[in-house]
Each structure stands twice: as structure tokens, then as C-alpha cells.
Amino acid sequence: MTRMLIIGPPGSGKGTQAARITESLGIVAISTGDIFRHNVKNGTPLGVEAKKYIDNGDFVPDSVTNSMVEDRLGQEDVAHGFLLDGYPRTRGQVDALDAMLSTLGTELDVVLQLTADDAELVKRLLGRAEIEGRADDTEDVIKHRLGLYAKETQPLVDIYQKRGLLVQVDGLGEISEVTARILAALDAVKK
Ligand code: ADP
């Protein structure tokens, strides 16, 4: 059983890799971005609230995000392991997650950081915008999201490194190549 996080800038391929890793490991993928987008699509109160932030490339407030994740981690399927994708993104979310896991009597096994340089990220996100038409994939909003990542989320990597949980993987290359790299790195940690 594995309980893990995947951390990386917008466009690093977190979501794509999360789907592949969780399938391979037989654990549940929990993407806060996907849960928000699902709620936006269905016009739920959570979606209406979250949309104001998402479209501008801002973080949804911690209070909203934390309680959503707490609900999700309380569900039964998570007991066999999970991969959180896109959470935590702030120091406050790290603290909230620590508290949630301690209440559940469990802890993280590994934190996977997916790296990629900014030029490649912007290129990928603009490419995705043409295909998926996400409102937050315009050039200005992309730059804002990358800036927020650098300021708020990148520093979280140090916290997990100090805890001895960090595994870094280069996110550049073919999708399946990156998946193979990740699975090999996770395998090496287990031993
Ligand atoms: P990306 O990694 O490309 O930014 P995501 O799907 O992970 O894409 O997130 C999309 C948007 O959803 C974010 O820009 C933010 O507005 C919101 N979001 C997702 N996760 C969080 C989080 N943990 N805290 C606050 N906002 C979040």
C-alpha cells in the first residue's frame, strides 16, 4: 500500500502521470483540480465558489480546499492507498494534511516531485489550451499560475525533503518514459 503526493508545476504532467501511477499501483488518484472542475461543471455551491479563483489562476482558499480533501480522505476506497495530485499547494495545506493523516492514524510514504523548466511548461500549457480550451490556460493566467507555484508551492518540497520523503523525477521526455522513470524511482525507495 502506498500513500503519496505528486508535486510539480502546472504543465509538468502531474495529472497524466498520476493516472498511470495509480493504475499501476492499484491506488486511488485524488486530484483537487479535477474535483474542482467537476464541481464547476455541475454548478455545485463548491464549484461556483471555486470558479472565481480557478479562472484567474489563483488558489482556492485553504479553508475550502482543506475541507474538500478531508471529506475525500474519509472515504473507504482511500484505505488501500492514495496519490494526492495538486495538494498540498500551500504551507497551510501541509499543516492541514498532517492533521488529517494523524486523525486517520496514518502517514505519507513518499512525495514525488516532477520537474520541468519554465519554457517547456509554457509550451505544453499553451498546446493544451488549444486542445482542451481550459479557461485558465491563457498565456497571462499561465504565467500567474507558474509564479504562484514558485512562490507558494515550490518551498513545500524542502519540508518533505527534510522529512526524508522526497523523490525527484525529471518530467521531460515521452509520457511513457517518464512513467517508467517514476515507477523505477518508487521501486528503489521501497527497498
Ligand atoms: P495545474 O497544476 O495545471 O495548475 P490543476 O488541475 O492541479 O492544474 O489545478 C487547477 C486550479 O485548481 C488551480 O489553478 C487552482 O485554482 C485550483 N486548485 C487545485 N488544487 C488546489 C489546491 N490544493 N489549493 C488551492 N487551489 C487549488
63: domain CATH number?
3.40.50.300
Most informative mutation of 60, 64, 120, 149 for ligand 1 (most atoms within 8 A of CB): 60
pLDDT band at 106 (very low <50, low <70, confident <90, very high): very high
Active site includes 162?
A: no
53 lines ligand 1 (CB under 6 A): yes
- Check: CB of residue 6 under 8 Å from CB of residue 87: no
Question: According to the model, what pLDDT value does residue 57 have?
Answer: 94
Residue with the bigger pLDDT between 124 and 98: it is 98
CA distance 24 to 75: 21
Residue 191 reports pLDDT greater than 90: no
The predicted model scores a pTM of 0.94
Nearest to 85 by CA among 175, 183, 18: 18
The count of domains in the chain is 1
For residue 67, the enclosing domain spans 2-190
User: What mean pLDDT do residues 77-103 have?
Assistant: 97
